[in-house]
């Protein structure tokens, strides 16, 4: 196990940052959190992630680890005996967890963010349908991965739980902004029960941002920052 001080560079509303916080907290690891401005990137961020220039970045001693899913795996591998394991031990189950985590970031996250970025009702409706379809596929993934237990990770939250759970505040905020029902208990009843259990955990209570604050931030992005970002 590599020793050294832990720092996390992030932005408060980012699901990618939130999931790293969740696992650090669940492992009981002490760290310094350093908030970043995504529009005015600091020298610290540029130094430690010169390739992608984005958060999260985990600084562990003299090591820089970037990309949230990579960071989660690093934490699990470097502190295997500290707190619960993040990824399944079985190689097949690990592969399945990694597959669905990639799906959440590649398909689900881009779909619900696309709802907020849509400039026409037609585009918005398409992204709403994409988000609902992604959640329905994750309903099946939960049934398979949980094997009848409370979480994707079994009896305790794990890799897939925090990957999806870190998006919950944004999904609820997107529902409030768009007026669309994304998490529908008639279509994803297992996921809805999982959401209730996940939100009741200390992991979620200690790290998920307030939905109203995320909603306000999302509305601001719709009229200002996304326009600025897209122009660069």
**Residue pLDDT, tens place only, 82-127:** 999 999 999 999 999 999 999 999 999 999 999 999 999 999 999 9
Task: With H, G, I as helix, E, B as strand and everything else as coil, classify residue 148.
Answer: coil
**Residue pLDDT, tens place only, 45-73:** 999 999 999 999 999 999 999 999 999 99
Instruction: Return the residue matching tokens 């989660």.
Output: 72
Distance of CA 143 to the CA centre of its chain: 20
Res 224 pLDDT > 80 = no
Q: What per-residue confidence (pLDDT) applies to 222?
A: 84
CA–CA separation, 201 vs 171, rounded Å? Answer: 18
Long-range contacts at 111-117 (CB < 8 A, ≥ 24 apart) = 112/167, 112/170, 112/171, 112/174, 112/182, 113/170, 113/174, 115/174, 115/177, 115/178, 115/180, 116/174, 116/177, 116/178, 116/218, 116/221, 116/222, 116/226, 117/222, 117/226
Residue 34, CB half-sphere, CA atoms under 13 Å: how many? Answer: 16
**Residue pLDDT, tens place only, 128-184:** 999 999 999 999 999 999 999 999 999 999 999 999 999 999 999 999 999 999 999
Res 229 pLDDT > 70 = no
Instruction: Return the residue matching tokens 């600084």.
Output: 59
- Whole-model pTM: value is 0.94
Determine the average pLDDT of the residues in 198-227: 90
């Amino acid at each position: 196990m590599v020793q050294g001080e832990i720092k996390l560079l992030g932005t408060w509303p980012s699901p990618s940052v939130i999931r790293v916080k969740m696992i650090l907290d669940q492992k009981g690891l002490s760290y310094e959190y350093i908030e970043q401005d995504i529009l005015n990137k600091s020298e610290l961020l540029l130094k430690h992630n010169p390739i992608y220039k984005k958060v999260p970045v985990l600084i562990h001693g003299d090591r820089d680890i970037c990309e949230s899913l990579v960071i989660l795996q690093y934490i699990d591998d470097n502190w295997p005996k500290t707190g619960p394991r993040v990824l399944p031990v079985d190689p097949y189950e690990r592969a399945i967890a990694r597959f669905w985590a990639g799906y959440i970031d590649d398909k689900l996250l881009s779909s619900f963010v696309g709802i907020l970025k849509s400039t026409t009702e037609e585009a918005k409706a398409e992204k709403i349908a994409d988000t609902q379809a992604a959640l329905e596929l994750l309903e099946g993934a939960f049934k398979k991965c949980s094997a009848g237990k409370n979480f994707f990770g079994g009896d305790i939250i794990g890799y897939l739980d925090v990957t999806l759970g870190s998006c919950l505040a944004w999904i609820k905020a997107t529902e409030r902004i768009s007026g669309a029902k994304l998490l529908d208990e008639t279509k994803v009843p297992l996921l809805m029960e999982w959401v209730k259990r996940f939100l009741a955990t200390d992991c979620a209570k200690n790290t998920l941002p307030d939905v109203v604050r995320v909603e306000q931030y999302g509305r601001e992005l719709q009229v200002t920052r996304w326009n600025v970002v897209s122009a660069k």
